[in-house]
Structure 1
């Protein structure tokens, strides 16, 4: 197989995985199913991705690229407003892409080091740290950003499961988002 054919098949396998996780979720991402949908033998993916984790990492990398693109489109001269818009974008990405979101934050993929996945995810956290530091120069920006991210991740998960709606009676995540921001940044106008 020539190099362009190899690159094309590698890309097609990832494309199929991205579509599969979007339509059927993480549990559908087997090597056999991806190969079947790509129209190749069940052993073909191993030529390009020696382990299942490497293929899953390539698929998750696409998710981080999508989230990074969405985050880059969010701007505002006021750091708190920028941060609020970025947090909403993060949650909307999680709600719009539940399978990909779940895959992206699997600890085994992030820890495996395949395709520099951690290097893809950490710059997003760096943006959060920078904005928090500009809003809260009095605080340890990494710690506050970490706590805020953990809360956003929790909102994303609990909302997607329906738990927050049940517990709070809310039908919109925005009040929870504003409460989380106020908890970590202080109420609007306080600083």
Structure 2
């Protein structure tokens, strides 16, 4: 990687750290520059706007989630088992990388199609679409959906369910709803709820 690429990555690294420690609302070009140890004008060479900067940080999150997903699904070719593995990775990422998870799906704040004029900036859409397309393909195999569009609707419903589980579990709401006390967590974590969600959208697993 050349010096220009290295500096861009340093700026994104600083942004990720800021999101994880203080939330996406604290991310600004000047603060990123300060943390990266460069002049306050340096980030604008790569991120002309705040949306462009947030999009680059979010893209890093999708790359991280993608690497985890590949590792989690490598051990099986069964589509339902792969979906279960993806679901566990998704919820674990939400719990471990809270600020990043919240930013990644705020497309009202992000620039999905480009990065606001940054010529070398990768498109966020290139990082976000593969994840959903993988879920659609696995749902189609599980359900033997007759069309791609029907598989996409089922996949979207399943994703919405899993996203809700991730959010509510991170907030502690599901634990309370299931009879646990504040801060208490069952030994199997949210796994039973994930299985219930898969059953609801795909039908019971074959015995």
Q: Which residue of 1 aligns with 2:144?
A: 137
Residues 7 and 119 of structure 1: CA distance in aligned 2, closer, same or farther (over 3 Å):
closer
Counterparts of 1:53-68 in structure 2, within 5 Å, are: 53-68=51-66
**Count of matched residue positions in the alignment of Structure 1 and Structure 2:** 188
- Partner-residue secondary structure (3-state), 2:124: helix
Q: Which residue of 2 aligns with 1:174?
A: 191
TM superposition score normalised by structure 1: 0.90
Take 1:153 and 1:189, find their aligned partners in 2: how far apart are those partners? Answer: 25
Contact 2:51 2:111 survives alignment (8 Å): no
5+ long unaligned stretches in structure 2:
116-121
Q: Which residue of 1 aligns with 2:159?
A: 149
The Cα RMSD (Å) is 1.9
Take 2:31 and 2:160, find their aligned partners in 1: how far apart are those partners? Answer: 33
TM superposition score normalised by structure 2: 0.84
More helix by share: 1
- For 1:90-129, what per-residue CA distance to the aligned partner results, in whole angstroms no more than 9, with x for missing partners? 1111111111111111112154532311221111111101
Q: Which residue of 2 aligns with 1:117?
A: 124
Instruction: Give structure 1 regions of 4+ aligned residues with deviation exceeding 6 angstroms.
Output: none
- By how many angstroms is 1:24 displaced? 2.5
Contact 2:55 2:112 survives alignment (8 Å): no
Take 2:104 and 2:63, find their aligned partners in 1: how far apart are those partners? Answer: 11
Q: Which residue of 1 aligns with 2:169?
A: 159
Bigger CA drift: 128-137 or 89-98? Answer: 89-98
Q: Which residue of 2 aligns with 1:87?
A: 87
5+ long unaligned stretches in structure 1:
none
Contact 2:33 2:40 survives alignment (8 Å): yes
Bigger CA drift: 26-35 or 119-128? Answer: 26-35
